[in-house]
Amino acid sequence: MTDTNTDLRPPETLRSAVWAQFRKHKGAMFGLVVLGLLVVFSVLGPLVWQPEKLSVAEALRSKNLPPSFAHPMGTDHLGRDQMQRMMLAGRVSLAVGFVAMVIAVVLGTLIGVLAGYFRRLDGALMRLTDMFLALPLIPLLLVMVMLFRDRVAGYIGPEMGAFLLIVSAIGITSWMQAARIVRGEVLALKEREYVLASRSIGATPKRVILRHILPNVISPVMVAATLCVAEAIITESVLSFLGLGFPPDFPTWGRLLFEGLDYMESYPARVIFPGLAISLTVLSVNYIGDGLRDALDPRIRGR
Amino acid sequence: MKLRTALLGAAAALAFAPAAFAERGADGNVNVLYWQAPSILNPYLSSGTKDVETASLILEGLAGFNEKGEVFARLAQDIPTVANGGITEDLTQITWKLKPGLLWSDGTPVTSADAKFTWEYCTHPEGGCAQAARYEGITAIETPDELTIVIKFSGPKPNPYQAFVGGTSPILQAAQFANCLGAAASTCTDQNFKPIGTGPFVVTEFKVNDTVTLAANPNYRDPAKPAFATMTVKGGGDAAAAARAVLETGEFDYAWNTQINPEQQTQMSAGGKGVLLNGFGTLVERIEMNMTNPDPALPEGERSTPKHPHPFLTDINVRKALSMAIDRQILVDIGYGAAGRPTCNLVPAPEMFASPNTDCLKQDMEGAKALLEQSGWVDSDGDGIREKDGMKLKILYQTSTNPVRQDFQAVIKDWWTELGVEVELKNIDASVFFGGDAGSPDTFQKFYSDVEMYANNFDGTDPEPYLGQYLCDKIPGPDNQWQGENINRFCDPAYDALWLELSKTSDMAKRAEIAIRLNEMLTKDSYVVVPLVDRGRLSAASNTLGGVVLNTWDTELWNAQDWFRVK
C-alpha cells in the first residue's frame, strides 16, 4: 500500500521547521529586522556616535536645530544632540520593556499553569489574580517607589535602583492577563486524550506540563507577551512623567516624547523621532509575536 | 454687530453729552480676555484671581496698591499715616476720610456706614468670607460722621493697610447687600452677579463662567473717565490661546496671565499686534541649601534635623562656589523669557525692601574653582570630583516635576559637574513635594536631599512674616510634624534678634533697612538661600490699547479707568 522508498525527506528538526514557517510571515520578518536595527541603534550607537561635549552657553546657541548632517535628528531646547539622547533613551526603554515582559510572562505562565492543572491551587491562585487585577497600578507604584527607592538606590546606585524597581513593579502588575488566558487553555488541554493517555501510563505532572501543556499554550502567551512590551514602555513613560521613574537626566523614549510635547507645533521632529521609535518597537514586537505564534503552532505549521 | 451697536451707542452718547463729559465713553468698546472665566463678581465669596480682578472694575476700596507696591487713595481723601495723625502712635487705630460727594453707580451717596457694613458682612460668623484675613485683628469700626471711618485693632498693627485696601477688600453698598448677611450671602444671586459699585464700570450682563458685559459708570468720580463706553470680559481657552488672541490675531485688547514659554513668546510677539507686559512681584525661584545631614543611613527622625550638621554644605565656601558657578541669565532665557529676570535677592520687591545686591549675577566659574581649591576641596584622585578629608562633594538635587525645573536641573548639573561636584538629580510629583504630608519622605519640608529648588513668594507688600520663616524655632522636624517654614534649618541668633527688632519697628524707612539686612544675611552673606530667577507676571496688551500698567501688588485691572484707545 505504501511506497516507503520514494520522496522521503530527511527528518526536519523542530527548530528549522519553526524558522522556515517564521520566515514565511512577511510581517514577522519585517518586525525582526526593525527591532534588530533599533537594538543595534541603541546598544552600539552611542559607541559610534559621540558628538562633541559643549558647555551650556555654547550648546544653547545651537538649540532647536532641525535635522542636519551634524545633528541627524536635530537638537533639543537646551542644544543637546537629539540622536545621542535617542540612543541612550533606547537602551533604557528597550531594556525596561523586555525585562518587564519576561517577568510578567514567567509569572503569568507559572501561575496560570499551576492554577489550571492543580485543582486544589485553582481557587487560591485565581483569587490572588483577581486581587492583583483590582490593584490600581499608579498608587501601588507610588508606594513601592516611596518605600524602596532610597534603600535600593543605596545598594546599586540611583539608575540601577530605579530600573530594578520599575521593571519589577511593571512586571508584577501585568502578569494577570497571561495567567488567566493560560489557565483557561490548561483547563481545556488537560482533558485532551493525549494528556489523559500520558497520565495513565504514569507520567509525572512535571513531565505532562513540560511536554504536552506548555507547547500548546505558547501562542496565547506570545500574544500576551508582545502586548506587555508595549505596555511596559508606555508605563515607564508615565512614571517618568510623574517623577517616579528614572532621575530626570536619564533620558527614555517616553520622557523625550513628553519633553517634546511643548514644542510640537514649532519643532515636530522633537516628538516624531521618539514617537516613531516607540511605535516601531511595539509594532515589530507585535508582528514577531504573531509570526512566532504561527510558527510554533503545529496545526498551522507546514500549511 | 454687537460691537457696531456699542460704537453707535457710544457715538450717540458722545454727541449728546455735556461738554464736561466730553471724554467719557469716547473710545468705544474694549475686549478683555480672562482665560479662566469669572464665575462671581463678589470678591468676598471667591478667592479666585479671575473673580477678584473682574470685580475690581466695579467695586473699589478706600485705597489700592500701585505698580510699585505703594498705597494710593481711591475713595479716601488721602492715606492715613502716623505722621499726618491718621494712625495713632501706638498703632492700634487708623482713621480714614472719604472723598466728599462720592456716588454709587445707582446715584446714592457713599457713606462711612457702607464701610462698616462691609466689615460686618465679611466677619459675620455664619458667612464664609474668602477675604476674612484682611479684617483680622479689627475689634470695632466707628463712624463718627458720614465721611469718617475709624478702625480699631486689638493690638499694635505695623501694617494697617489691609481692610478696604486693594481689590480683595472693596466696599459693598450697604443698601444692596443688607439682606445678604451670614448664611444668606451666597443665595443673593442678583447682588453677587451685579454688585453696585463706585468703580469705572457697571455690569450690564453677566453670563456665569463665560462673559461679563460692562458699561461706563455714569456716576464715576472723575467725569472724564473711563475712556471706554463698554467693556467685554470674556473667558475660556488657555494661556497660549489667550496670548495668540492678543498678539497674533488681534481679536482682544488685553489678555490676563499669558504664561507661555520663551519660544512661544518670541514667535507670538512677531505677530506684531500687541506686546507682552511683565510685572515683577515677590516670587523667586531659588535653590535652598540643607544645613543638616540628609544621609539615609541616619535613623528616621534624625535625618535632616539639626542633630546632624551637613558634612560639607556647612562650609560657606562650598555654598558660595555652587552659587558662583550658576549663570542666572541663561536660566531666565531657557525657562521664562520676558516673564523672569535674574536675581540675587530673596525679597526682590517692593522696591524699598529690595537689596541692591547684584554680586551673583555674573557667572564666575574660575573664581568658584579657585575658592574651592583654597578651602581645601581638591580632586586628588583624578575622578573629576573634589574631595577633602576623604569626603567627596556629592550632591542630591531635588525639585518638583515641571518641565522648566527639569531643564534648570540639567543645566545646573552641567555647571556643577564642571566645578568638580557630582550631582544626582531627583524630581518628585508636585502634589507630593508640596503636599506637606508628614508621612512622605519626599516633601520639601523634610528635605531629604542636599539641595532643593522651588519658588516661593509672600502675600502683600510687607516681608516681615516672610523673613520670619528663617528663625531658629521655625525649623521643621519630627517634633512639629515637619511643619516649620525654615526649610534650610538656618539658625543664627543675630538674625533672630534683628527680626525681632523689625517686628517692633513702625517707621517705614527703618523697616526697609532692617528687611534688606535680613535678606542679605540669608543670601550674599551666607549663601544659605541661592536665589535664581525673579518670576514675574506676564500679560498681553494690544498695541492699540493705551494706559495699561501691569501691577503685581493689586488687581491687573487696577487702572482700567485710565485705559484708552491709541489712535
pLDDT in tens, B67-90: 888 889 999 999 998 888 889 988
B272 residue type, one letter? G
Please name which of B25, B33, B28, B66 lies closest in space to residue B541, comparing C-alpha atoms.
B33
Using 50, 70 and 90 to split pLDDT, how confident is the model at A11?
low
Cβ of B410 within 8 Å of Cβ of A78? The answer is: yes
Q: Is the ipTM of this complex over 0.85?
A: no
Per-residue pLDDT band for B541 (boundaries 50, 70, 90) equals very high
Give the torsion sign (CA, B381, B386, B390, B396).
Answer: negative
Going by their DSSP bridges, the two strands B230-235 and B29-34 should be labelled as parallel
Q: What is the average per-residue pLDDT within A199-227? A: 84
Residue A204 buriedness (CB in 10 A; 0-12 / 13-18 / 19+):
exposed
Show which of residues 199-238 on chain A sit within 8 Å of chain B, judged by CB atoms: none
Contact: A150, B410; criterion CB under 8 Å: no
Of the pLDDT bands very low, low, confident and very high (cuts 50, 70, 90), residue A237 is confident
Domains of chain A, earliest start first = 19-43+78-296 (1.10.3720.10)
Task: Kindly identify which residue of chain B lies nearest to residue A143, measuring between CA atoms.
Answer: B440
* Per-residue pLDDT tens digits for A252-262: 888 888 788 77
Closest CA of chain A from B399, distance in Å: 10
Cα-Cα-Cα-Cα dihedral of A58, A59, A62, A67, to 10°?
Answer: 150
CA A284 to chain centre: 11
Q: Which three cell numbers stand for residue B292?
A: 543638616
- Please report which confidence band the pLDDT of residue B16 belongs to, taking 50, 70 and 90 as the band edges: very low
In a mutational test of the A interface, the residue from B259, B269, B401 whose CB has the highest number of chain A CBs within 10 Å is B401
Please say if the pLDDT value at position A111 is more than 50.
yes
Are A243 and B401 inside 8 Å of each other by CB?
Answer: yes
Percent of chain A with pLDDT over 70: 93
Q: What is the pLDDT of residue A6?
A: 57
Q: How far is A37 from chain B (nearest CA, A)?
A: 30
pLDDT at B483 over 70: yes
Considering only CB atoms, which chain B residues are within 8 Å of A56? Answer: 327, 330, 411, 414-415
B208-229 pLDDT, tens digit per residue, is: 889 999 999 999 998 888 999 9
Q: How many angstroms separate the CA atoms of B136 and B153, rounded?
A: 9
Looking at residue B20, what is its pLDDT?
A: 37
Nearest Cβ partner of A243 from B418, B428, B440?
Answer: B428
What average pLDDT score do residues B35-62 get? 88
Average pLDDT of chain A, as a whole number: 82
Identify the residue with better confidence: B422 or B480: B422
pLDDT digits (tens, 9 = 90+) for B491-518: 999 999 999 888 878 778 888 999 999 9
Give the closest of B330, B406, B418 to A248, CB-based.
B406
Do B262 and B335 meet the contact criterion of CB atoms below 8 Å apart? yes
Chain B residues whose beta carbon lies within 8 Å of the beta carbon of residue A151: 296
Contact pairs from chain A to chain B, CB under 8 Å: 62
The chain A residue lying nearest B406, using CA atoms, is A248
| Region B309-327 average pLDDT | 92
Give A43-101 pLDDT, tens digit per residue: 888 888 887 777 777 777 777 778 887 777 788 877 788 888 888 888 888 888 888 88
State the average pLDDT for chain B. 87
The answer to whether A242 contacts B334, with C-beta atoms less than 8 Å apart, is: no
| N-terminal to C-terminal alpha carbon distance within chain B | 22
Q: Which residue of B has its CA nearest to A239?
A: B429
Q: How confident is the model at residue B18 (pLDDT cuts 50, 70, 90)?
A: very low
C-beta separation of B53 from B33 below 8 A = no
Please report the pLDDT score of residue A165 as a whole number.
82
| Distance separating alpha carbons of residues B138 and B157, to the nearest angstrom | 10
Euclidean distance between CA atoms B78 and B71, whole angstroms:
10
Q: Does residue A238 surpass a pLDDT of 50?
A: yes
> In the prediction, which pLDDT does B197 show?
93
Chain A: give the shortest CA distance to residue B341, in Å: 17
What local confidence, expressed as pLDDT, does residue B8 receive? 47
Facing residue for B401 by CB, picked from A64, A154, A242: A242
Residue-wise over B463-487: b if at least 16 C-beta within 10 A, else e?
bbebbbbbbeebbbbeeeebebebb
Q: Is A249 on the interface with B (CB under 8 A)?
A: yes
Mean of the pLDDT values across residues A163-168? 82
Can you tell me the mean pLDDT for B342-358?
A: 88
Cell of B231: 467693556
Residue of A nearest to B329 (CA): A57
The whole-number pLDDT of residue A303 equals 55
At residue A287, the pLDDT reads 86
Q: Between vectors from CA A162 to CA A158 and to CA A168, what angle results, nearest 5°? A: 150
The model's pLDDT over B253-306, given as tens digits with 9 standing for 90+, comes to: 999 888 888 888 888 888 888 999 888 888 899 999 999 999 888 888 888 899
For residues B359 and B104, what is the distance between their CA atoms, to the nearest angstrom?
Answer: 52
Beta-carbon separation of B426 and A57 below 8 A: no
Q: What b-and-e string marks burial along A25-64, b requiring 16 or more CB atoms within 10 Å of the CB?
A: beebeebbebbeebbebbeebbeeeeeeeeebbebbebbb
Written as nine digits, the cell of B531 is: 536665589
Report the alpha-carbon angle A146-A150-A153, nearest 5: 125
Q: What is the dihedral of CA B415, B421, B426, B430, to 10 degrees?
A: -60
